[in-house]
């Protein structure tokens, strides 16, 4: 059988484009950070409230959300962000919100005009500070107990949600899109990666082509399980429209208490050997980056010690770790066990022990010892 040259060239092109993504590399030899490393690019605080009423099974109600804004009878989230930015030097805020709030408890991706306007009010206060603002869908890879794309909402609904959000903010370069908070117990990580891919594609097709998109893995987005859970391999296949991975950043969490739950006020580890060091090696080997969008501890001496060590290590590896965002301020009561809520005394804001000792860029923790 004789084929034309044009046919042969077309077939060759098709076969080349169909090649599977090569698997992530492993680098047995330790890769050191460059000399330029030493300062984290994004350091911030979560401003919670719109996520209130959300359970770890993704059961949220629009009525359970509590906007952290004085106009909506919440705490002064705008004032908190202004203080954190101007007095402490923070440059990043993560604004968690439940999927159900954005759609007013209607399954699908259509934004409810009234509810989205409330969330956007907080977003505008964030942008007004000049900080980077992270949108975080706080649903644990679920909607009312069912896993997205694996028995729960179809991927198309989730992609539509993100496409609509991205369309609204496509011209805001200082926004990051946090695809999902803390997926956990997801049966098939490869199917989850396909769900994430559809959200990424929707965001880019909506015109948000330059913003960072944060990709979360299984196991509560744990930095310590990112590789072993298969999340690293699966999410490495997620691509932009042009096939690149530019501005696709892995989203990881890590707490410092004995069970990594973030529910105790004493810290027992800096997570370096069990999480950050192996993850830094993998990221450097594969030329990728991650951001730690949730970490925190109690306002105790043990947490000051270990958190400062963790931050110092992240800073020394700032070529692969973009930064961290502490949990949490916003509408939490100052008595909350992981409170980073500043207390206003007249015109002065007073920070928590952990904030002023470690979390604040002005604390000097990025230059401190790691053990």
Whether residue 172 lies in the annotated active site: no
Catalytic residue among 30, 125, 266, 294: 294
Whether residue 273 lies in the annotated active site: no
CA angle 336, 341, 346 (to 5 degrees): 125
Q: For residues 225 and 255, give the distance between their C-alpha atoms in angstroms, rounded to a whole number.
A: 13
Contact 47, 329 (CB under 8 A): yes
Q: For residues 245 and 276, give the distance between their C-alpha atoms in angstroms, rounded to a whole number.
A: 22
3-state SS, residue 262: coil
Find tokens 């990580």 and name the residue. Answer: 189
**First CA to last CA across the chain, in angstroms?**
70
Contact 96, 369 (CB under 8 A): no
Q: For residues 155 and 61, give the distance between their C-alpha atoms in angstroms, rounded to a whole number.
A: 21
Q: For residues 65 and 164, give the distance between their C-alpha atoms in angstroms, rounded to a whole number.
A: 20
Catalytic residue among 125, 182, 225, 340: 182
In order, the DSSP letters of 46-72 are: EEESTTTT--TTS---GGG---SSGGG
Contact 200, 248 (CB under 8 A): yes
Q: 42-67 burial string, b = 16+ CB within 10 Å, else e?
A: bbbbbbbbbbbbbeebbbbbbebbbb
- The residues near 202 (Cβ < 8 Å, ≥ 6 apart) are 159, 160, 162, 163, 166
Segment holding 99, helix H or strand E = helix 99-103
Q: For residues 124 and 106, give the distance between their C-alpha atoms in angstroms, rounded to a whole number.
A: 25
Active site residues: 182, 294
């Amino acid at each position: 059988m004789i084929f034309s040259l044009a046919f042969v060239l077309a077939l060759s092109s098709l076969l080349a484009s169909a090649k599977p993504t090569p698997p992530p590399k492993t680098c047995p030899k330790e890769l050191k950070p460059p000399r330029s490393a030493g300062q984290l690019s994004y350091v911030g605080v979560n401003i919670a409230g719109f996520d209130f009423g959300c359970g770890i099974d993704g059961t949220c109600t629009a009525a359970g959300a509590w906007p952290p804004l004085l106009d909506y009878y919440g705490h002064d989230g705008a004032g908190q962000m202004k203080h954190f930015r101007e007095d402490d030097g923070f440059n990043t805020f993560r604004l968690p919100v439940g999927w159900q709030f954005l759609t007013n408890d209607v399954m699908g991706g259509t934004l409810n005009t009234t509810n989205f306007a409330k969330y956007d009010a907080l977003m505008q206060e964030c942008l007004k500070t000049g900080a980077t603002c992270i949108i975080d869908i706080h649903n644990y890879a679920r909607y009312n107990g069912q896993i997205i794309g694996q028995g729960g909402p179809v991927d198309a609904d989730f992609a539509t949600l993100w496409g609509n959000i991205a369309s609204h903010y496509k011209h805001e370069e200082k926004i990051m899109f946090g695809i999902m908070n803390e997926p956990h117990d997801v049966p098939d990580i490869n199917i989850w990666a396909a769900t994430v891919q559809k959200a990424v594609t929707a965001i880019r097709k909506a015109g948000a082509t330059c913003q960072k998109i944060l990709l979360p893995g299984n196991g509560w987005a744990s930095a310590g399980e990112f590789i072993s859970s298969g999340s690293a391999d699966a999410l490495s296949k997620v691509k932009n429209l042009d096939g690149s991975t530019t501005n696709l950043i892995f989203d990881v969490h890590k707490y410092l208490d004995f069970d990594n739950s973030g529910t105790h006020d004493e810290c027992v580890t800096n997570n370096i050997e069990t999480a950050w060091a192996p993850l830094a090696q993998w990221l450097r080997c594969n030329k990728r980056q991650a951001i730690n969008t949730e970490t925190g501890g109690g306002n105790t001496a043990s947490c000051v010690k270990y958190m400062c060590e963790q931050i110092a290590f992240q800073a020394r590896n700032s070529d692969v770790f973009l930064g961290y965002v502490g949990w949490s301020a916003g509408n939490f009561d100052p008595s909350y066990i992981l409170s980073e809520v500043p207390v206003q005394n007249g015109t002065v804001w007073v920070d928590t022990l952990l904030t002023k000792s470690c979390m604040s860029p002005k604390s000097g923790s990025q230059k401190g010892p790691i053990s």
